[in-house]
Amino acid sequence: MACCARILGDDSLYKILSDRRQNFVGAYEERFQHACGALRATAKRVVSRFLDCGNSRNGFARIKCSNCGAERLPHFSCKTRGFCPSYQSRMAGEWARRFADELSEPV
């Protein structure tokens, strides 16, 4: 399984979450739940999706160059906006391209 963060060479977040997730959930309930409320299901879901990001079992696209015939099989990302480094940087790039091409006036 290739996580998008690991593909980018930054696997520290992935390591921390995969190694310590259960410890954190248990500690949260013990130490913070009384003051901050229960850990939201959304937070648990985002972390699970991130840890499963880039897994070929969740789907991939086959991309073939019409000129040279080279193929790539990029895995689908987790799409956890604001959390996944791969998805966040791609969305920022798409927004910048759209802004330059469609929204800003020529200078």
Put simply, whether the predicted model's pTM sits higher than 0.75 gets the answer: no
**Number of other CB atoms surrounding residue 84 within 10 Å:** 23
What Rg, from alpha-carbon coordinates, does the chain have?
18
Tell me what pLDDT residue 1 has: 41
Rounded to whole angstroms, the Cα distance separating 21 from 26 reads 9
Tell me what pLDDT residue 107 has: 63
**Number of other CB atoms surrounding residue 86 within 10 Å:** 21
Question: Which parts of the chain register pLDDT below 70?
Answer: 1-10, 81-82, 85-88, 106-107
